[in-house]
Amino acid sequence: MIQEQESFNKYFHDVKKIWSKLSHPNRIIPFCTPLTKNPNFLVIGKNHSNNFDPFDDDKNNEIADAFSKEIAKENTFMEHSHSFAKGINRVVFEINKEHESFFISKLFYELQHKKNSR
């Protein structure tokens, strides 16, 4: 588990290096969820560092700063209600209509994380 976490941290910083070369004005946030080995699916978004909480700048900055400094400790799609999270949940809801086993839930996430940490 420690070696896996070290690999995740290296990957986090490597991704930040790639994006930093673009001189983008926003924070570089490689991941908005804790990392798990061999996830069932991956969501890729862009430039969401200013919409974690569109109604509270302090909360927005707190979340974005945390995600830009280290691998997320919480799953932003389950813990926050920003527009990107709401959009992901709508997409998952639509997919779930045809694929009942495809969903985001805290229990599902925790089970996946336990399975992958063995």
**pLDDT single digits (tens) 8-66:** 889 888 888 887 777 666 688 888 888 888 877 777 666 667 778 878 889 888 888 88
Q: Identify the pLDDT of residue 58.
A: 92
Q: Identify the pLDDT of residue 24.
A: 65
The CA distances from residue 81 to 21, 43, 64, 91, 98, in Å, are 30, 17, 14, 15, 25
DSSP 21-47: TTT-SS-----SS---SS-S------S
Place of tokens 């976490």: 5
Q: Identify the pLDDT of residue 102.
A: 73
Average pLDDT rounded to a whole number, residues 1-6 = 80
Considering the entire predicted model, what is its pTM? Answer: 0.67
Domain ranges for the chain:
2-116
